C-alpha cells in the first residue's frame, strides 16, 4: 500500500540517531518571545545547554527570569500566539522537538519527555478517579487492556510510595493530601518511562518534610531508571540536594552555568552571589542575610548593557551600562565548562 500524505506527516521528521557521545537533550540558542500590545516580551534569549542521561540540571532564577517559559517551549506547551519560538534547536535523542509535527509532539510528550508541575491539580482531572486517570494514560499510549492498565496504575502508585494503592486508585484527587497528589502526578509523569523529566517547582506548594520526601523519591527513581531531570526552582536548598549542574537565568538569559559543587563553593556572577547571600545556610559563617535590592527587569525594555546592572553592587559606569556581557567559558574543572556573563568576572 502506498503511503498517504497523513502517513508522511505521522512519520515525523527524519530521525538522526545520536552518537554515543552526544547529550540526551541538547538545547541551542533557544529564543522565545511573546507578542503583546506593548511590544515583544523577550522571555528567553539565546539559551543553550546539554543534559545527559541520569543527570539533573537545576534552572534557577526569580519569577519572570524565563526559566519556566524555556521548558514549556521545549515541551511544546506554549500558546502560539502569543508565544513565538524565534530561534533555536532542541534535540532529544536525535529528534528535533521544535520541528516535528504536532501529532508526533503529542506522542513524544509523556513517552519520552514528561513534566510535573507545582500544582498537581493542573495535571490531575478532579472529576476522575486517580487510578483511572493513570490507567488511561498507559492504555492510550501502549494499547494495553483496561485490566492491564488498571494493574499498572496500582503498580505505579505503589512505586511512588502511595500507601494502600488499590484503595487509593479508587479515590478522586481531592481525597488526596497535597503530598499524595504530588506523588500521583509523579506516577502520571513516570507512567511511560520518559527519558527526561521536567519538574517545574515540584515542591513549592508542599511543607518542608514532604518536600524532602518528594525530592528523595525523584532521586531514587532517577537512580533506578537513569532518567535525566530538569528541575526548575528558586530554592537553593532543593538544588543543593539533587542537582549535578546549575544554570542561572536573569532577564531571559543564562548568566551562569556550572557544576553544582563549584557553583555552591564559588558562585561567579554577582546575581548568583546575591542569590546565595539571600538564603540561610547551615554551615555558613555569614551572620545576616542580604537581599538583592531592586526588581527583576522588564522583558520588554531590558536595561542597556548588562541587564543586572541597575541592581548590581559591582556595576561600573563603563562596560556594565553600555555593553551586554557575553556568556564566556571561565574555567572547567568538571570538564564540561563553567560559563559566566559578567564584564568584571575575575576582578571581584
Query: Which cell numbers hold the place of 55?
Result: 543527570
Q: Is 344 a residue that touches ligand SF4 (CB under 6 A)?
A: yes
Output 92 or 292, the one with its CB closest to ligand SF4.
292
Report, in Å, the least distance between residue 314 CB and ligand SF4.
4
Output 285 or 317, the one with its CB closest to ligand SF4.
317
Output 184 or 342, the one with its CB closest to ligand SF4.
342
In which residue are the cell numbers 552571589 written? 273
Output 161 or 310, the one with its CB closest to ligand SF4.
310
Residues 306-335 that bind ligand SF4 (CB under 6 A): 306, 308-309, 312, 314-315, 320, 325
Residues 39 and 150: their CA atoms lie apart, in Å, by 49
Which of 42-50, 101-109, 114-122, 302-310 is the region at the interface with ligand SF4 (rule: CB under 6 A)? 302-310
Output 42 or 309, the one with its CB closest to ligand SF4.
309
Output 289 or 328, the one with its CB closest to ligand SF4.
328
Which of 5-13, 115-123, 143-151, 301-309 is the region at the interface with ligand SF4 (rule: CB under 6 A)? 301-309
How wide is the angle at C-alpha 247 spanned by C-alphas 246 and 251, nearest 5°?
A: 150
Are the CB atoms for 255 and 268 separated by under 8 Å? no
Output 179 or 274, the one with its CB closest to ligand SF4.
274
Report, in Å, the least distance between residue 270 CB and ligand SF4.
4
Are the CB atoms for 218 and 206 separated by under 8 Å? no
Q: Is 202 a residue that touches ligand SF4 (CB under 6 A)?
A: no
**Residue 156 is inside which H or E element, if any?**
helix 146-159
By the 10 Å C-beta count (0-12 exposed, 13-18 middle, 19+ buried), 172 is classed as middle
**Residue 119 is inside which H or E element, if any?**
none
Residues 244 and 58: their CA atoms lie apart, in Å, by 8
Query: Which cell numbers hold the place of 287?
Result: 551572620
CA distances from 240 to 56, 187, 211, 234, 243 (A): 11, 24, 13, 11, 6
Which of 104-112, 127-135, 203-211, 304-312 is the region at the interface with ligand SF4 (rule: CB under 6 A)? 304-312
Where b means 16+ CB within 10 Å and e means fewer, 204-231 reads ebbeeebbebbbebbeebbeeeebbbbb
Which of 44-52, 115-123, 173-181, 339-347 is the region at the interface with ligand SF4 (rule: CB under 6 A)? 339-347
Are the CB atoms for 330 and 336 separated by under 8 Å? no
Q: Is 270 a residue that touches ligand SF4 (CB under 6 A)?
A: yes
Which of 181-189, 207-215, 258-266, 338-346 is the region at the interface with ligand SF4 (rule: CB under 6 A)? 338-346
Q: Is 342 a residue that touches ligand SF4 (CB under 6 A)?
A: yes
**Which residues of this chain interact with ligand SF4, rule CB under 6 A?**
269-270, 306, 308-309, 312, 314-315, 320, 325, 342-344
Amino acid at each position: 500500500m502506498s503511503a498517504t500524505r497523513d502517513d508522511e506527516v505521522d512519520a515525523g521528521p527524519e530521525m538522526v540517531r545520536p552518537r554515543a557521545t552526544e547529550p540526551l537533550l541538547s538545547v541551542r540558542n533557544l529564543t522565545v518571545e511573546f507578542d503583546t500590545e506593548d511590544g515583544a516580551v523577550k522571555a528567553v534569549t539565546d539559551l543553550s545547554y546539554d543534559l545527559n542521561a541520569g543527570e539533573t540540571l537545576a534552572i534557577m532564577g526569580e519569577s519572570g527570569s524565563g526559566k519556566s517559559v524555556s521548558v514549556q517551549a521545549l515541551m511544546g506547551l506554549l500558546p502560539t500566539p502569543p508565544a513565538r519560538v524565534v530561534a533555536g534547536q532542541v534535540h532529544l535523542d536525535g529528534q528535533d522537538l521544535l520541528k516535528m509535527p504536532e501529532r508526533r509532539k503529542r506522542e513524544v510528550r509523556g513517552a519520552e519527555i514528561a513534566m510535573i508541575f507545582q500544582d498537581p491539580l493542573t495535571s490531575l482531572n478532579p472529576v476522575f478517579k486517580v487510578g483511572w486517570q493513570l490507567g488511561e494514560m498507559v492504555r492510550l499510549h501502549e494499547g494495553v487492556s483496561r485490566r492491564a492498565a488498571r494493574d499498572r496504575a496500582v503498580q505505579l502508585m505503589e512505586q511512588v510510595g502511595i500507601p494502600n494503592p488499590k484503595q487509593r486508585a479508587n479515590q478522586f484527587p481531592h481525597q488526596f493530601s497535597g503530598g499524595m497528589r504530588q506523588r500521583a502526578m509523579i506516577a502520571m509523569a513516570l507512567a511511560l518511562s520518559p527519558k527526561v523529566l521536567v519538574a517545574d517547582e515540584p515542591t513549592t506548594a508542599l511543607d518542608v518534610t514532604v518536600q524532602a520526601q518528594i525530592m528523595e523519591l525523584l532521586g531514587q527513581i532517577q537512580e533506578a531508571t537513569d532518567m535525566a531531570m530538569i528541575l526548575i526552582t528558586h530554592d537553593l536548598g532543593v538544588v543543593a540536594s539533587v542537582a549535578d549542574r546549575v544554570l542561572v537565568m536573569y532577564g531571559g538569559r543564562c548568566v551562569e552555568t556550572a557544576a553544582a559543587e563549584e557553583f555552591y563553593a564559588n558562585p561567579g556572577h554577582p546575581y548568583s552571589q546575591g542569590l546565595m547571600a539571600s538564603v540561610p545556610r547551615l554551615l555558613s559563617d555569614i551572620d545576616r542575610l542580604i537581599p538583592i535590592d531592586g526588581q527583576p527587569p522588564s522583558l520588554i525594555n531590558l536595561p542597556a548593557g548588562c541587564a543586572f546592572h541597575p541592581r548590581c553592587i559591582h556595576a561600573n559606569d563603563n562596560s556594565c551600562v553600555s555593553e551586554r556581557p557575553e556568556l564566556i567559558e571561565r574555567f572547567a574543572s568538571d570538564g564540561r565548562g563553567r560559563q559566566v556573563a559578567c564584564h568584571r568576572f575575575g576582578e571581584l
